[in-house]
Each structure stands twice: as structure tokens, then as C-alpha cells.
Amino acid sequence: MGHPFPIREIARQAGLSEATVDRVLNGRGGVRESTAREVRQAIADLDRQRTQVRLVGRTFMVDIVMQAPERFTTAVRAALEAELPSLRPAVLRSRFHFRETGPAGELVRTLDRIARRGSQGVILKAPDVPEVTAAVGRLEAAGVPVVTLVTDLPASARRAYVGIDDRAAGATAAYLMGQWLGERPGNILTSLSSGFFRNEEEREMGFRSAMRARHPERTLVEIAEGQGLDATQYDLVRAALERDPDIRAVYSIGGGNIATLRAFDDLGRDCAVFVAHDLDHDNTRLLREHRLSAVLHHDLRQDVREACHTVMRAHDALPPAGPSLPSAIQVVTPYNMPPQAAV
């Protein structure tokens, strides 16, 4: 397992003892395969972050904990690592704890492990449930500042939330939907990955409120708990389309848009208007193919930069600042895609 990094750096990155890392690197046995994977992942993370590792400056080890589809966590990882040079002369090192779905208890165990072993900060995307809120309180009590990213835990002890105003985003989607549907008949499918994410709940409330005020004649058909994963999303969308022959448009709050469009195609149904969130790899391709009408996007690099700055301020490494403003909501169509959009 060739690499240029000292065992001490690998152990810190992986959150393991130096002795355990040494056993893995030298193939001495007595180590679980899951632990060996953690060591390999730590080396891969260090390799991607190698331009920062040798910089002279204060070092911050930050844990990124997220429950989200792989396409989104990949975008977050890329955004963070692209921002590392902008944090100089400070050195920010990151450990990633990503999962697509699972019980809240597993997420809580991850947060509690971080509290026990120590960290300079946690950037968190998690469902808004009491056990996660309690785990955030334990992290803060242990001196680990927590910043919520893209979805908030407002009842928790977190230091700050970084992301868009989700109610405004939902209302924006309703405005676009009303303008583009015009006088054409049809019901609107609203799709959430889970009812436990605060950002999705607020987008849905903003959308419903604006539609009720501007287009009370429209029927909204809700599906949820697809987790943004293609297999479950396809089944949910197909069942909804089979039950309701009048669905003609989609507001996708939680993702899984390739599967949603496949369900329309397989049933020979037309989707007249499709508004989605986040310019990830899938949505970029769908937008270029004109399968999506618009994507409500925000600058993820700016968001992770602000999250890192918040962690650094918690350690008095930057001057205090007032509350951060919500990220700007960008309405992206096939004709105004940003140059840095995924390819």
C-alpha cells in the first residue's frame, strides 16, 4: 500500500491508533476488513488533500457527516477540497462520514465517536429528529462546534446553519411552475426524499403556500421516503402516475430525477414542467438534455467555505462575524448554466 504519509498522519485522518494503522500497512493481521478500508480511505483522502498537508499554519481537523445520496456527497467532497487552498495559511484536513440511508441510531453513533476522539468541528447534514439533536448537544458540550449544511437542526446547539432559505426556494418553484404551466390542465407531483429533513419540509411548505395563493385550482400529489435513491424513487413515482392520470408536472424536492423521468417514459406520459434542486452531475446532464425545466441551485463551494470559516471562528482563528445570510438561490436553465457545472 504505497503512500508518502507518516503513520501518525494516517492514524489521525482515520481516527485510529498508530498501532492499528501499522498492522494494516504491514499486513500483520488481526484487523477487521472494515478497519482496513478506513485506513485505505484515509490515505486516499490525504492524497487528495496533499497540497494542504505541508502548508505552514494552524491545522483544523473537521469531520463531514452526511446522510444523502452519493451524487450529493460527491459534490460536497469536491466543493470542500476545491476550497482548501482558499483557507491558507490555515490547514484544514477533513474526514468524511457519508451514508445514503439508514436508521438515525447509526448516525448518532458516528457523532458520539467523533465527540469521544475529538475534532475541531463537524459539518453536518442530518434528519431533524430528537436523537440527532441530542447528539449535537453532546458534541458542543465536548467542545466540538457543529455547523449544519443545507438542512438545519434549529432546536439543536449547533453554531450556525449554512444554506438557502428553503421556504423562499419552494415559493420560487411554485412561481416558475405556475408561469410555465399557464392555463394547461394537470396535477403536480411533489417528491421528497424524506419527511425528516428540515430543508425538504420547508421547501414543500413554501411551494404549497405559494401554489394555494396563486393557483388554488391545482391539485398537488405528494410522494415521500424515496431517500433520493433511484430504485425506490422509480417505484413511488410509477405508482403515483398509475393512480393519477392527470399528473403533468413535477417539483422534485429530494432528488432521484433520472428515476422519476424513467417512470414517466415507461408509462408513455409527458412531463410538461420539471423543477428540481441542486446542479449535481445527474441534474446537469438532464438540464443539458432539456429533460428538466429549471434547477434551483446555490453555490456549494461558497457554502462549505462559510461552514469552515464558522468552525475557525469558534476557535478564535478568525475575527467574529454577524449571522450569515442565506445563500443566494439561482434559477438555472439549459441556457445559463454556470461554467463550473459538472460534466
Domain residue extents for the chain: 7-55, 59-163+300-327, 166-297
59-163+300-327 shares the fold of 7-55 = no
Are the beta carbons of 245 and 220 closer than 8 angstroms? no
The tens-digit pLDDT sequence of the chain (343 residues) is 556 788 888 888 888 888 888 888 888 877 888 888 888 888 888 877 665 444 446 788 899 999 998 989 999 999 998 888 888 777 888 899 999 988 999 999 999 999 999 999 999 999 999 999 999 999 999 999 999 999 999 999 999 999 999 999 999 999 999 999 999 999 999 999 988 899 999 999 999 999 999 999 999 999 998 887 888 999 999 999 999 999 999 999 999 999 999 999 999 999 999 999 999 899 999 999 999 999 999 999 999 999 999 999 999 888 888 888 899 999 999 999 988 665 4
Q: How many CB atoms lie within 10 A of CB 92?
A: 25
| SS3 letters across 80-135 | HHHHHHHHCCCEEEEEEEEECCCCHHHHHHHHHHHHHHCCCEEEEECCCCHHHHHH
CATH class for domain 59-163+300-327? alpha beta
Could you please state the CATH topology (level 3) that the domain comprising 7-55 is classified under: 434 Repressor (Amino-terminal Domain) (1.10.260)
Could you please state the CATH topology (level 3) that the domain comprising 166-297 is classified under: Rossmann fold (3.40.50)
pTM over 0.75: yes
Nearest to 205 by CA among 239, 165, 237: 165
Nearest to 107 by CA among 76, 67, 139: 67
CA distance 294 to 283: 9
Pairing outcome for strands 294-297 and 330-332: antiparallel
